[in-house]
Structure 1
Amino acid sequence: MVQRILAPFDESPQSNAALHHALSTFPNADIHVLHVTDPREWSSMNMDGGFYSQEMYDQAQESATALLEQAESIADEYGTTVTTAMRDGRAADAIVKYAEEHDVDHVVLGSHGRRGLSRFLLGSVAERVARRSPGSVTIIREKEPKHGD
């Protein structure tokens, strides 16, 4: 049976390292790469209680598409392909839900995402995914490796 691996992906060095780890450690797996866009990044509060910006949402989706194309390029370096997906929502919730919906066996994610540098030991997203994931979880702390090193 082929393992199904989920590698959440953002622009952080730890996320890149996690994807490299998944590709090198599980060369025969069905690897899914997920990018989650948090609505709090493309909407903001105003005096009336809320503000939604279609332009900011469109920019977030364009950025997500570019990131997933980058993930596909990284997979190409390993001679493989990945399944990519985008979701909107809070990162940990979206990651766990995706893992449940796609019968993911194992999640490989970075210890800190793009905003995780302020966390002391473990990013809140990684911690919540580790606690709630339906399968096993590997948390990668190091920065992005060079393929072939």
Structure 2
Amino acid sequence: MGMTKVLVPIDGSKESHQAFEYACETISPDTVVLLHVITPSSLYSHNADPGMYTEAMYEAQKERAEGLFETLRENTDIDPKIEIETIIDVGRPANKIVTFADENDVDHIVMGSKGRDGAARVLLGSVAETVVRRATVPTTVVR
């Protein structure tokens, strides 16, 4: 298809892995950007003042994200011609995804239909819904 840049938000869920595979195999872009958004609430320390987060907590989340990226690369058959970029950001996932796509010449967003299991499922499902409504580029939701 020859699209240049596809954004794939990654949260560690099976669905986000499937979105990455879909982007690589079906769209076959020049570049896939893997974006992991650390939510501010995951950085708060229960012992710190409200609104404060520790550098150690950020580093732990960043290492987790880098581990997710590495796992995807190792467990996905990727055409060597596809360039893989990785980005880690902090904020509200839907906002960060839409803003990144707008500001970085993204041609297409491919994302999972829901995120991690457990309590986060409803919240992350709404992330996909928000991105679909607000994105200015074609968005594919992989189930």
TM-score (norm 2): 0.84
Could you tell me the percent identity over the aligned residues?
37
Corresponding position: 1:117 with 2:102: no
Gaps of 5+ in 2: none
Per the alignment, residue 102 of structure 1 pairs with 104
Q: Is the 8 A contact 1:45 1:51 kept in 2?
A: no
**Amino acid in structure 2 at the alignment position of 1:79:** D
Q: Is the 8 A contact 2:109 2:138 kept in 1?
A: yes
Deviation of 1:72 (Å): 2.9
Per the alignment, residue 11 of structure 2 pairs with 10
Q: Is the 8 A contact 2:3 2:28 kept in 1?
A: no
How many correspondences in the alignment? 138
Q: Is the 8 A contact 1:36 1:89 kept in 2?
A: yes
Deviation of 1:59 (Å): 0.6
RMSD of the alignment, in Å?
A: 2.2
What are the within-5 Å matches in structure 2 for residues 1-149 of structure 1? 2-44=3-45, 49-74=50-75, 77-80=77-80, 81-114=83-116, 116-118=120-122, 123-141=125-143
Q: Is the 8 A contact 2:3 2:29 kept in 1?
A: yes
Deviation of 1:79 (Å): 2.5
Structure 2 distance, partners of 1:117, 1:31, is 25
Q: Is the 8 A contact 1:20 1:74 kept in 2?
A: no
Gaps of 5+ in 1: 142-149
**Amino acid in structure 1 at the alignment position of 2:135:** S
Partner of 2:101: helix, strand, or coil?
A: helix
Q: Do the aligned partners of residues 56 and 48 (structure 1) sit closer, same or farther apart at CA in structure 2, a change above 3 Å counting?
A: closer
TM-score (norm 1): 0.81
